[in-house]
Amino acid sequence: SQQGEEDPQALSIQEGENATMNCSYKTSINNLQWYRQNSGRGLVHLILIRSNEREKHSGRLRVTLDTSKKSSSLLITASRAADTASYFCATDARNTGNQFYFGTGTSLTVIP
């Protein structure tokens, strides 16, 4: 499977702290994306980083990509209770046509 894996599987932090989650994948990619899923809902796109980029910011989100290690990290700064959700990485792998491959997700709980 070309599916990525997130680490940790679950993370619990206090409001105001930073949350870091990691994603590892197996094959060469065109880009990597992070999605958020609130309980019982569909996934929402957060941020995309291309294979030739190393770091990207969007509001309180910071994403890094290390293609040599086939890994990415998502940092959420100054977390809020509303950030409580599951977070998934998805890779747009090269030579796979139009398919995305999703990781297994990190469940983040932010305690008020």
Partner 1 sequence: NAGVTQTPKFQVLKTGQSMTLQCAQDMNHEYMSWYRQDPGMGLRLIHYSVGAGITDQGEVPNGYNVSRSTTEDFPLRLLSAAPSQTSVYFCASRSLDTQYFGPGTRLTVL
Give the residues lining the site for partner 1 (CB under 8 A). Answer: 1, 3-4, 9, 31, 33, 35, 40-45, 48, 88, 90, 92, 97-105
Q: Which is nearer to partner 1, 15 or 104 (CB)?
A: 104
- Provide, rounded to whole angstroms, the least separation between the CB of residue 51 and partner 1: 12
- Provide, rounded to whole angstroms, the least separation between the CB of residue 111 and partner 1: 23
Angle in degrees, CA 51, 82, 9, rounded to 5:
55
- Provide, rounded to whole angstroms, the least separation between the CB of residue 55 and partner 1: 18
Token couple for 17: 């702290």
Alpha-carbon gap, residue 108 to 86, rounded angstroms: 6
Alpha-carbon gap, residue 3 to 88, rounded angstroms: 11
Q: Which is nearer to partner 1, 49 or 110 (CB)?
A: 49
Q: Which is nearer to partner 1, 14 or 99 (CB)?
A: 99
Q: What are phi and psi of 10, to 5 degrees?
A: -145, 145
Give the containing element (helix H, strand E) for 19: strand 19-24
